[in-house]
Each structure stands twice: as C-alpha cells, then as structure tokens.
C-alpha cells in the first residue's frame, strides 16, 4: 500500500487529525444544544449553542489550515477522490455553520428553532460523511501514517 506523509506535522505526527476533533465536538454540541433548546425552551441552551458555534467555526478554520497544507503539499493526495470529498464537505460544513451563526446573530434565540436546528442537523450528517472520507484517507490510503514505524517500538 502506498503511503503519503502529512506535510504539516510535529515530531512526525500529522497536525490536522489532532486539531479536527475540537470543531467536530463543538459542532455536535451545537446540535445537542439546539435539541435541548427545542425541548426545554431554556435560553441557557441557546446561549451555549451560540458559544459552541462561534468557537467551533474559529477552531475549524485553524484545523483547515493544516488540512489544506496536507492537501496542497502532495499532488498524490490531491489525486485521491476521498481527499476531494473530505475537503469539499468540510468547506460546506464551515459555510453552513457561518450562515447558521449569522442567522442566529440576526434573530437571536427565536431563530434557533426550526432553522438553526435544521442547519445543525445537516452539519452533523455531513460531518459523518466527512469523517468517513477522512478515515478512508488514513486507513485505505495511509495518509499521515508513518510507513517506517516499528509497531513494537515504544516511545
């Protein structure tokens, strides 16, 4: 199996997979907060969802920097269909979340249900697909996997 080294790495470890977990968890939290706000009509959930949304967007932009470095750093990675899907879907996710943030800023908590909830649900579904494509890059194509590593060696 052909392996592709990650261009953006620290001490041999790819940075992108280390950073993507934060926006993913925050975007999932937005969805949970939206569900709770819909169910309980408590402003705490709308506020927490908005904070998670804002921080998730910032951290998604940070993670995207390293993903783009990897994507544009190796033409072989760019040639993989899974890389295109992963990139496009993640850009779509961030675009939807930016629109979701602007929507909520303009309308406040009253705009969480139904539009904010629908948008956050779509994002969760897209994140599942994007994660699948990211896993395909790692587990099928070996992107970011150190092919010279000794599995028995401890560090």
Tell me which of 57-61, 140-144, 150-154 is least confident: 150-154
Is the distance from CB of 144 to CB of 17 less than 8 angstroms?
Answer: yes
Question: What are the residue ranges spanned by the domains of the chain?
Answer: 9-140
- Which band of pLDDT confidence, cut at 50, 70 and 90, is reported for residue 154? low
pTM value surpassing 0.85: yes
Measured distance CA(75)–CA(71) in Å, rounded:
8
Measured distance CA(117)–CA(32) in Å, rounded:
9
pLDDT in tens, 101-151: 999 999 999 999 999 999 999 999 999 999 999 999 999 999 988 776 666
Measured distance CA(137)–CA(122) in Å, rounded:
23
Beta-strand ranges (E) seen in 7-131 are 9-10, 13-14
Residues 6 or more apart in contact with residue 113 via CB below 8 angstroms: 34, 37, 38
Total count of residues recorded for the chain: 155
Residues 6 or more apart in contact with residue 136 via CB below 8 angstroms: 82
């Amino acid at each position: 199996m052909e392996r592709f080294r990650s261009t953006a790495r620290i001490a041999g470890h790819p940075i992108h997979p280390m950073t993507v977990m934060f926006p993913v968890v925050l975007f999932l939290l937005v969805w949970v907060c939206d569900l709770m706000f819909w169910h309980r009509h408590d402003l705490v959930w709308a506020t927490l969802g908005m904070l998670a949304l804002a921080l998730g967007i910032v951290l998604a932009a940070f993670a995207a920097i390293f993903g783009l470095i990897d994507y544009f750093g190796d033409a072989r990675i760019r040639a993989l269909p899974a890389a295109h899907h992963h990139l496009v879907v993640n850009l779509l996710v961030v675009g939807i979340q930016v629109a979701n943030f602007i929507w909520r800023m303009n309308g406040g908590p009253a705009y969480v249900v139904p539009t904010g909830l629908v948008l956050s649900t779509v994002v969760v579904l897209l994140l599942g697909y994007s994660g699948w494509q990211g896993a395909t890059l790692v587990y099928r194509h070996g992107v970011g996997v150190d092919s010279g590593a000794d599995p028995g060696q401890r560090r």
